[in-house]
Chain A
Amino acid sequence: MSAFPLVALVGNPNAGKSALFNALTGARQKLGNYPGVTVERKAGRLSLSDGRPVELVDLPGTYSLDPTSPDEQVTRDVVLGRQTGERLPDALIVVVDASNLDNHLRFALELISLGLPTIVALNMVDLASRDGLELDPAVLSRELGVPVIPTVAVRKRGLDDLREQIEAVLSVKPARARAEPGDFQTLRAEAKRIAKGAVVRETPSRRLTAAIDRVALHPFFGLLMLLGLLFIMFQAVYAWSEAPIAMIEGLAETLSGAVSDALPDGLLRSFLVDGVINGVGSVVVFLPQILILFFFILMLEATGYMVRAAFLMDGLMARVGLSGRAFIPLLSSFACAVPGIMATRTISDPKDRLTTILIAPLMTCSARLPVYAVIIGAFIPARNVGFGVGLQGLVLFCLYVAGIIGAMLVALVLRLTVTKGSSGGFLMEMPKYQWPRPQDVLLGLWQRAIIFLKRAGTIIFASTVILWLLLSFPRAPEESGISQVNHSIAGRIANGLNVALEPIGFNRDISLALIPAMAAREVAVSALATVYSIDAGDDEAKLERSLGDRLKDNWPLPTALAFLAWFVFAPQCISTIAVTKRETNGWRWPLFMVGYLFALAYVAAGLTYWTAVAVGLG
């Protein structure tokens, strides 16, 4: 732990705390976790005018020191010096929203009474004056008994003053004694009185936000706007990512070419090319799509629109026993369930949160797309079903919808059984709209990219190596005619597994592909490609056929449809299981999730297969 003075940023949600944190620390941030709880710790370095460093920690936003969620509990414990893994801060910066002083000052008073050296950052003074509210910081400072600095975090205004004040309060040893904060009513009345006294000029509020909300929250046009935004988002995820994906693929190809040329044919080359480059590469390829999706999600959050989307969706979510807040993590899960599950931390009700975590893998993540694309391309004819809608696109859309409907039904059942209890509901503040600083968005994207690449370099790398080992050993005797795949440990497991999967129309090749696909779903595609290229042996005519054509040669249509249905539900992703374990603190819920998803996948694939055979598609 560093010996630098520790300063904590505290404040209500939507006070602009994170923007202020970013503005004060720049890119010098460290993300971590508080021990024992799944609450993110955000810390950064700040230099005072004499060059002395200060450690700044951004505490989760909360409305009072009476916590209602794990995040809020961390905030309380840190400022009281009770949090494991954190020192008692040497000073607090209380961030308040200038246009919401009545409410924010109450919490500020509670914090000031703790007796730590405190500075109040009167943030977003620009939005307040846009709204016709002018305040006098000197009056506030006199009433509160602590320095008050007007700031506009997103425009970097007031930061030098803030730095100077940090220096000043740190050089004076704690002067004030800890006082017992008054009760809620007293603090509230006090806050109201102080806020009123500080107003220089006030006109009716929030004209711009109110005007946008008339459309954005309209029951019909608001929903239309939300659907339009989601449509653009999903289009962009695929349309904008083509070029960068091709670049990454090209890079991986060049790299494996170089390694193949440099090394003699053998185990090491196979390990590097088949295992490391292709394995990790097949996952890194999704970086552009994930970043595009996160760009939209970060923008929707930073502008204040996300809460509006949750507002519009809450009616629907309520019917399946979820909170409107669950909409945000579920939307993220279309990129990848891992960040989606991490985003459930904002849901305060534990049962709401658990239900959301359990259904997140049913949202069709980007890793399923390659699997869908290969099978649809091979088995669904590219014909027009009218109105310019292609059959292939329609099937793809149906698979997405099947996932969403499945998720809603599962939520309904879970809420009546394992996560029974009253719903935590939906009670949130709607922040004012504002345009985010591009640097903040870029910083967010950068942090996501690093997290994703770290994952690719650790978990995915490790599982790829293990799978490569299972497929490569024991070595098949040469000239025996036995394929390496069949002889390997993985091949033997696949043959055993096939006994269970045959009834739902799967063949041995599918069983084999499902094992490596546990690491990441898209690996199923490359695994099938390997199986069929080994099958082809030296037959050149066979080798030249594409994977789609080979699948068509080997699979009846009902098998292909069953395979698609399987992937709508199957929990084929070690990372999702790992993150669920971390977020639910144990093995109980990830195992439950894996169990129910496999059961659903089995039933869905079986029903699809038997129905297709019965109607004569086979």
Chain B
Amino acid sequence: MRLTDLPLRQPAYVDVIDWTALSATDGQRLREFGLIEGADVEALHHGGLLGRGPIACKIGRMTIAMRRAHAAAISVRLGTRDEQA
């Protein structure tokens, strides 16, 4: 499922990231935040009253906010897995 559909506060991990759907800068920033294939991720908050705002999620001990367009490029699976960095 996509990160946009991930239920809040459920442990999950990144399965595949469609880097082509992200600009080079955004892709770089996501990698710098540690958001790469295999990373543990947890959706924490959805912004916006109508559900169109950004998504806040936990990567490691960090919380980052991204737009739904970024989150839609990230496929996740429920559960945990040790990162294969």
- Cα A68 to Cα B24 in complex, Å, equals 10
Chain A, residues 297-310, CB within 8 Å of chain B (1/0): the string is 00000000001001
Chain A, residues 316-345, CB within 8 Å of chain B (1/0): the string is 101000001000000000000000000000
B52 nearest in chain A by CB position: A315
Binding site for A on B (CB under 8 A): 23, 25-26, 28-34, 36, 44-54, 56, 58, 60-67, 69-70, 83, 85
Q: A315-B54, A348-B25 in contact; A426/B34 too (CB < 8 A)?
A: no
Would you call B64 and A429 a contact (CB within 8 A)?
yes
Provide the residues of chain A in CB contact with B44, threshold 8 Å. Answer: 210, 213, 217
Q: A311-B53, A315-B52, A422-B23 in contact; A429/B63 too (CB < 8 A)?
A: yes
Q: Assuming A103-B62, A311-B53, A312-B48, what are 10 further A-B pairs, CB within 8 angstroms?
A: A64-B28, A206-B63, A213-B44, A213-B45, A218-B45, A219-B53, A311-B65, A424-B25, A426-B66, A429-B33
- Cα A83 to Cα B48 in complex, Å, equals 41
B6 to chain A minimum Cβ distance, whole angstroms, is 16
Nearest 5 CB-CB pairs, A to B? A315-B48, A315-B53, A63-B32, A217-B45, A430-B63
Chain A, residues 175-212, CB within 8 Å of chain B (1/0): the string is 00000000011001100100000000000011001100
B13 to chain A minimum Cβ distance, whole angstroms, is 15
Residue in A66, A205, A427 whose CB lies within 8 Å of B64 = A427
- Cα A428 to Cα B54 in complex, Å, equals 11
Provide the residues of chain A in CB contact with B85, threshold 8 Å. Answer: 185, 188-189, 192
Would you call B61 and A206 a contact (CB within 8 A)?
yes
- Cα A566 to Cα B61 in complex, Å, equals 51
Chain A contributes a number of interface residues (CB within 8 A of B) equal to 44
- Cα A345 to Cα B49 in complex, Å, equals 28
Would you call A192 and B67 a contact (CB within 8 A)?
no
* Number of interchain pairs (Cβ within 8 Å): 118
Would you call B49 and A103 a contact (CB within 8 A)?
no
Q: A68-B29, A100-B60 in contact; A307/B52 too (CB < 8 A)?
A: no
Binding site for B on A (CB under 8 A): 63-64, 66, 68, 99-100, 102-103, 106, 131, 133, 184-185, 188-189, 192, 205-206, 209-210, 213, 217-220, 223, 307, 310-312, 314-316, 318, 324, 348, 422, 424-430
Would you call A427 and B53 a contact (CB within 8 A)?
no
Provide the residues of chain A in CB contact with B49, threshold 8 Å. Answer: 219-220, 223, 315
Would you call A314 and B61 a contact (CB within 8 A)?
no
B7 to chain A minimum Cβ distance, whole angstroms, is 16
- Cα A422 to Cα B24 in complex, Å, equals 13
Q: A66-B28, A103-B33, A219-B48 in contact; A427/B61 too (CB < 8 A)?
A: no
Provide the residues of chain B in CB contact with A64, threshold 8 Å. Answer: 28, 32
- Cα A427 to Cα B49 in complex, Å, equals 19
Would you call B53 and A314 a contact (CB within 8 A)?
yes
